[in-house]
Amino acid sequence: MASVSPDVHERLRRIRVNEYHRMIEAGILGEDERVQLIDGLLFAMTPQGRPHAFVIQELNRLLVRALPDQFKVLTQLPLTLGDDSEPEPDLAVVKLQDAASRTEHPTTALLVIEVAGESLRFDRRSKAALYARAGIPEYWIVNLSEAAIEVSRSPDRTSGEYRTSLVCRRGEILTAAAVPGIRVDVGSLFPER
């Protein structure tokens, strides 16, 4: 939003999640259209290159194997976070009961993971603020260009910031704090140099 001039910013018409759903139902937006609703605005999702897709596949495999049946791993599926945001994170770990509805998307997650190439700035700013305001306890950004995982924990819902952060690199094992049993060898996600 920083690149939008103030006069244009004031004239933006934000939409709500229910309007977004009606746009999909009416065929204005196709189900395969690569957009997501963040703070009332539709954002185009960046296309995935092979490194992005590989990391999603590998993390999905690791998470599904590590988690007991009381959790679900969502891969690029919506989370309804308030009445004006419905992001589609690359991966999210939710409690089984939070993903049980056949008519509503989950409204929370324990861990959200975004894989970032071109979207790094957006994931660090807009998505991090959204996830912190929603109270998501743990947020990982897999930074493809730096071969690292940026970890944010302890959300402050009021400020929209995470209180703690760390960066894990090749040679380190990342253990999730919000979900028991998840351990990721960071180097396994990136090609050898």
| Domains of the chain (ranges, CATH numbers) | 47-189 (3.90.1570.10)
CA distances from 144 to 49, 55, 70, 94, 125 (A): 11, 9, 30, 24, 17
Task: Determine the average pLDDT of the residues in 41-48.
Answer: 86
Contacts of 44 (CB under 8 A, 6+ apart): 34, 35
Q: How many CA atoms does the CB half-sphere of 107 hold within 13 Å? A: 7
Residue 146's identity, in one-letter code, is E
- Looking at residue 6, its pLDDT comes to 56
Asked if residue 1 has pLDDT above 80, the reply is: no
- Looking at residue 140, its pLDDT comes to 98
Predicted confidence (pLDDT) per residue in 62-96, tens digit: 999 999 999 999 999 999 999 999 999 999 999 99
**pTM of the shown model:** 0.91
